[in-house]
Structure 1
Amino acid sequence: MDELDLLRRSGGPVTRSRLRADLESLGLRSGDTVFFHTRLSAIGYVAGGPATLITALLDVVGPRGTLMVTCGWNDAPPYDFTTWPKEWQDQIRAEHPAYHPGLSEADHNNGRLPEALRRWPGAVRSRHPDASFAALGALAGELMADHPWDDPHGEGSPLARLVEAGGRVLMLGAPLDTMTLLHHAEALADAPGKIFVEYEMPITVGGERVWRHFHDIDSEEGAFDYSSVVAEDEDPFGVIADDMVEAGLGRSGDVGAAPSHLFEAAEALDFGVRWIERKLGDDHGTEGGRSRR
């Protein structure tokens, strides 16, 4: 989509001041700790791109506020490299660079904003290579500290700390099925058939590059088999989040041209956990795990 199409969609340039006004109308306020997901093209022609959006968000939350994004690692070794011929595996083990919070690019599939925010002066990125987050602002260090190596979406994770801090989740034109907080709901939900994965990645420990095994819910293909409660053409997270909106959670409004939603993280998490436990509580699917190894 070219600039003229974006301009027509948003009725002219979406400037810093317009973003600030729209975000305030949506309910974002000074001092907020906000985990945001963005589809920039949905907003329209943002004059200045990601930097303008981040600056507008900082304008609203102010010096007492904090911004948070999900990053991941764009150039992580493939989960299935352990199935490759031994010679290729050996080459990867010998020379694949270790994850570096300050240098390793955020997953490109998460859009432009996570990479822009993690590079922002003063931003802090968590230490987990596969499930990293980044934050900027008053609580950045607290949210990102000591990200658990195993179960990185569960207790003690940046997602858990977001909830504990009274944080909020902002969906800026991003599809509701991209709500990463629901991985925390999956990690906490007490329902049968939870699917776990094991994988290996290189990290730096004491100045040495080492390979480490990691254990997590399957955040890529799904921590549960939702096929009995969600239609084949529907995304489970999208269904859960749509149900949140129908239940009256959060606030909705346009930011630029993008339909956007603002949720209280604790309410969204509680809704997600209860939805999973209610819908899957009688499902006796496969116990245990599926391994990426």
Structure 2
Amino acid sequence: MDEMDLLKRSGGPVTRSRISRDLVTLGLRDGDDVMFHTRMSAIGYVAGGPQAVIGALRDVVGREGTLMVTCGWNDAPPYDFVTWPQDWQDALRTEHPAYDPDLSEADHNNGRLPEALRRWPGAVRSRHPDASFAALGAAADELMAEHPWDDPHGPDSPLARLVARNGRVLLLGAPLDTMTLLHHAEALAEAPGKRFVDYEQPILVQGQRVWRRFHDIDSEEGAFDYAAVVPEGQEPFEAIAQDMLAAGIGRQSRVGAAESYLFEAGDVIDFATCWIESRLG
């Protein structure tokens, strides 16, 4: 979609001040800790791109608020490299750079905003290579500190801390199925058939590159088999989020041209954990 199409969609340039006004209308407040997911093209032509979006979010949450994103690691070694021919494995183990919170790019599949925020002056990125998050603001250090190596979506994860701080989740033009917080509900839910993954990635330990083994729910293929409870062709997280909205959980309005949603993190976890356990238990 070219610039003129984006301009027509949003009725002109979507400026920082316009985004701020729309976020306030949606319900974002001064002092909020908010994890956000963004699809820039849905907003329209954003004058200034990610810088304007982050600036608008900071304008609204203020000095006491905190912004948080899911990053991941774009250049992480593939989970299945241990199935490669041995000489290929050896070459990877010998020279693949370690995850570095300051240098390793956020997963490009998460869009432009996570990479922009994690590079913002003062931003803090968590230590976990595969499930890393980044935060900017008053509670950034608290949210990101000592991200558990194993079960990185579970108790004491940045997601759990966001819930404990009465944080919120903002989908800024992003699809409902992009809500990373639902992985925390999967980690907490007690239901049969939960799927896990074990994998190896290089990290820095006291300045030295070390390969470490990690254990987590399967956040890529799905922690559960939802086929029996979700219509064919629909993403499980989309189904959960739609049921939340139908139950009156969450707020909805437009930011620029983008249909956007704001949820209380605690409500998301209570609803989604119950949803998973009641349907799959």
Please state which band the TM-score falls in when normalised by the shorter chain.
over 0.9
Name the residue aligned to 2:222: 222
Superimposed CA distance per residue, residues 68-122 of structure 1 (whole angstroms, 9 cap, x where no aligned partner): 0000000000111100000000000000000000000000000000000000000
Q: Which runs of 4+ in 1 moved over 2 A?
A: none
Distance apart, 1:250 and its partner CA? 1.1
Amino acid at match of 1:241: A
2:111 partner amino acid:
G
| 1:108 paired to 2:124 | no
Q: Distance in 1 between matches of 2:279 and 2:9?
A: 39
Counterpart residue number, 1:23 = 23
- What is the root-mean-square deviation of aligned Cα atoms in Å? 0.4
Aligned residue-pair number? 281
Q: How does 1:126-275 map to 2 (within 5 A)?
A: 126-275=126-275
User: Which residue number corresponds to residue 10 of structure 2?
Assistant: 10
Name 1:291's counterpart in structure 2: none
Q: Which residue of 2 aligns with 1:285?
A: none
Match of 1:80, SS?
helix
Post-superposition shift, 1:232?
2.1
| C-alpha distance in 2 between matches for 1:254 and 1:209 | 46
In structure 1, C-alpha distance between the alignment counterparts of 2:268 and 2:247, rounded to whole Å = 11
SS of alignment partner, residue 220 of structure 2: coil
Deviations 1:10-33 (A, max 9, x none): 000000110010000000010000
For 1:251-292, what per-residue CA distance to the aligned partner results, in whole angstroms no more than 9, with x for missing partners? 1000000000000000011101000000101xxxxxxxxxxx
Q: Partners in 2 of 1:225 and 1:270 — Cα distance?
A: 20
Aligned residue for 1:105, secondary structure, equals coil
1:217-245 Cα deviation digits (max 9, x unpaired) = 00000000101111221100000001011
2:36 corresponds to 1:39: no
Match of 1:56 in 2: 56
TM-score, structure 2 as length reference: 1.00
Determine the structure 1 residue equivalent to 2:73.
73
Q: CA offsets, 1:134-174, max 9 Å, x none? A: 00000000000000000000001000000000100000000
Q: Distance in 2 between matches of 1:238 and 1:29?
A: 26
> TM-score of the superposition, structure 1-length normalised?
0.96
Distance 1:228 1:14 in 2: 42
Q: How far has the Cα of 1:133 moved from its partner?
A: 0.1
Residue 241 of structure 2 aligns to a residue whose secondary structure is: helix
Distance 2:196 2:170 in 1: 28
Tell me, in whole angstroms, the C-alpha distance in 1 between the residues paired with 2:60 and 2:232: 40
Rounded to whole Å, the distance in 2 between the matches of 1:182 and 1:24 is 24
AA partner of residue 266 (structure 1):
G
